[in-house]
């Protein structure tokens, strides 16, 4: 248990340092009038990786993520509706898999 607490504290400490470093880099890039695209891409990738570690745990989740990426990348479908649709699909898949295994109440 102690290792889990320490690793969580270290992880959040690392996230703070990444945020501080990215803020300083952004400030310097603004002062030097450089494009901020690499910094933005890095922040987006950091957010994606942290959400991926917490949310994608099995094959149906991977398929839903791939579907959402394909729809958002190659169509003009509304991202808000896509998130809502994927949430309902995820709830439906989880309910189906739970019922197939015998239900949570049994």
Whether the per-residue pLDDT at 1 is higher than 50: the answer is no
Is residue 86 within 8 A of residue 72, CB to CB? The reply is no
pLDDT for residue 56 = 76
pLDDT of residue 89: 93
Q: CA separation (Å) from 46 to 41, 51, 89?
A: 9, 9, 26
Q: Dihedral sign, CA of 87, 89, 68, 50?
A: positive
Its pTM surpasses 0.85? no
Q: What is the mean pLDDT of residues 60-80?
A: 89
- Tell me, what's the pLDDT at 11? 54
Structure tokens that stand for 61 in this block: 């989740």
User: CA 42, CA 64: separation in Å to the nearest integer?
Assistant: 24
């Amino acid at each position: 248990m102690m290792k889990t607490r320490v690793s969580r504290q270290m992880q959040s400490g690392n996230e703070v340092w990444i945020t501080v470093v990215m803020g300083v880099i952004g400030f310097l890039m603004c002062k030097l009038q450089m494009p901020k695209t690499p910094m933005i891409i890095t922040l987006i990738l950091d957010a994606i990786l942290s959400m991926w570690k917490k949310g994608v745990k099995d094959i149906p989740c991977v398929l839903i993520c791939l579907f959402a990426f394909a729809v958002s990348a190659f169509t003009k479908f509304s991202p808000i509706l896509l998130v809502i649709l994927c949430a309902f699909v995820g709830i439906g898949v989880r309910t189906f898999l739970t019922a197939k295994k015998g239900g949570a109440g049994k």
